Amino acid sequence: MLKVGIDVGGTFTDIVVQDEAGGIEQGKVPSVPGNEQQAVIAALSLMAERAQRPLADFLGDVAVINFGTTVATNAMLQHRGVPTAMLTTKGFRDILELRRGYKEVLFDIRLQPPLPVVPRRWRLGAGERIGPDGEVIEPLNEGEVREAARKIRDGGIRAVAICFLNSYVNPAHERRAAEIVAAECPDVDVHLSSDVLPKVREFERFSTATVNAFLSPLLRHYLDRLVDELRRNGFRNQLLVMQSNGGTAAPEQAGRLGCAALLSGPAGGVAAAVRIGEVCGARNVIGVDMGGTSYDVSLVRDALPETRTESWFSRHFVGLPMLAIHTIGAGGGSIAWVDGGGALRVGPQSAGARPGPACYGTGGSEATVTDAFLYLGYLNPDFFLGGRMTIRPELSAEAIRSSVAAPFGMSLDEAAFSIFRIINNNLSNGIRYVSVAEGHDPRDFALMSFGGAGSVTVGIQARDLGIGRVLVPRTASVFCALGELLADLRVSQIHATPGRIDALDPAVLAASLDALAAGPRQELEAVNGVERIRLERHAEMRYAGQVHELPTPLAENADFRAAIAETVRAFHALHKQRYAFDMPQKPVEMLSVRQDVVGSRQWEVPKFDIVSDPDPSAAIKARRKVCFPDGQGFEWLDTPIYDGAKLQPGHRLVGPAIIEEVDTTIAIQPGDRVLLNEYQVYDIAIGDAP
What is the pLDDT, as a whole number, of residue 645? Answer: 92
* Distances, alpha carbon 101 to alpha carbons 94, 112, 410, in Å: 12, 14, 46
Summarised one tens digit per residue, pLDDT across range 362-380 is 888 899 999 999 999 999 9
Q: What is the DSSP string of 128-188?
A: -EE-TTS-EEE---HHHHHHHHHHHHHTT--EEEEE-TTTTT--HHHHHHHHHHHHH-TTS
Segment 611-617 mean pLDDT:
94
96-110, 223-237, 532-546, 671-685, range with the lowest pLDDT: 96-110
Segment 545-556 mean pLDDT:
90
Segment 316-338 mean pLDDT:
90
Kindly tell me if the per-residue pLDDT of 388 is higher than 90. Answer: no
What is the pLDDT, as a whole number, of residue 34? Answer: 75
* Distances, alpha carbon 348 to alpha carbons 329, 331, 368, 406, in Å: 4, 8, 11, 22
- Asked if 76-221 and 488-601 have one fold, the answer is no
What distance in Å separates the CA atoms of residue 232 and residue 59, rounded to the nearest whole number?
11
Query: 384: Cβ–Cβ under 8 A, 6 or more apart, which residues?
Result: 390, 391
**Domain spanning 76-221, CATH architecture:** 3-Layer(aba) Sandwich (3.40)
Summarised one tens digit per residue, pLDDT across range 97-139 is 999 888 888 888 888 989 999 999 999 999 999 999 899 999 9
In contact, 231 and 472? CB cutoff 8 Å = no
258 compared with 352, residue with greater pLDDT: 258
Please confirm whether the linkage preceding 616 is cis (ω < 30° from 0). no
What is the pLDDT, as a whole number, of residue 196? Answer: 96
**Which residue type is seen at 24?**
I
In contact, 348 and 378? CB cutoff 8 Å = no
Summarised one tens digit per residue, pLDDT across range 202-241 is 999 999 999 999 999 999 999 999 999 999 999 999 999 9
What is the pLDDT, as a whole number, of residue 664? Answer: 86
What is the pLDDT, as a whole number, of residue 390? Answer: 81
What is the pLDDT, as a whole number, of residue 354? Answer: 72
What distance in Å separates the CA atoms of residue 511 and residue 529, rounded to the nearest whole number?
28
Kindly tell me if the per-residue pLDDT of 83 is higher than 70. Answer: yes
In contact, 568 and 585? CB cutoff 8 Å = no
What is the pLDDT, as a whole number, of residue 688? Answer: 79
What distance in Å separates the CA atoms of residue 455 and residue 463, rounded to the nearest whole number?
14
What is the pLDDT, as a whole number, of residue 353? Answer: 67
Residues of the chain with pLDDT > 90: what percent? 74
**Which residue type is seen at 629?**
P
DSSP 555: P
Q: How confident is the model at residue 420 (pLDDT cuts 50, 70, 90)?
A: very high
How many other CB atoms are found less than 10 A from the CB of residue 440?
19
In contact, 318 and 292? CB cutoff 8 Å = no
What is the pLDDT, as a whole number, of residue 265? Answer: 83
Helix or strand run (H / E) with residue 225:
helix 202-232
Compute the mean pLDDT over every residue in the chain, rounded to the nearest whole number.
92
506-525 vs 560-579: helix axis angle to the nearest 10?
90
Range list of H helices, 346-486: 369-375, 393-400, 406-408, 412-434, 458-465, 479-486
What is the pLDDT, as a whole number, of residue 222? Answer: 92
* Distances, alpha carbon 384 to alpha carbons 208, 237, 400, in Å: 42, 36, 20
167 compared with 291, residue with greater pLDDT: 167
In 3D, which of 253, 235, 236, 232 has the Cα closest to residue 244?
Answer: 253
Kindly tell me if the per-residue pLDDT of 480 is higher than 70. Answer: yes
What is the pLDDT, as a whole number, of residue 49? Answer: 94
Segment 426-450 mean pLDDT:
93
**Third-level CATH fold of 488-601:** Dna Ligase; domain 1 (3.30.1490)
**Which residue type is seen at 312?**
W
Kindly tell me if the per-residue pLDDT of 352 is higher than 80. Answer: no
Q: What is the DSSP string of 49-92?
A: HHTTS-HHHHHHTEEEEEEE--HHHHHHHHT----EEEEEETT-
Kindly tell me if the per-residue pLDDT of 383 is higher than 90. Answer: no
What distance in Å separates the CA atoms of residue 296 and residue 438, rounded to the nearest whole number?
16
Summarised one tens digit per residue, pLDDT across range 634-651 is 999 999 999 999 999 999
The vertex-577 CA angle with 573 and 583, nearest 5°, equals: 50
Segment 80-88 mean pLDDT:
96
How do the domains of the chain map onto residue ranges? 76-221, 334-418, 488-601
> Please, is 621 exposed, middle or buried when counting C-beta atoms within 10 Å of its C-beta (0-12, 13-18, 19+)?
middle
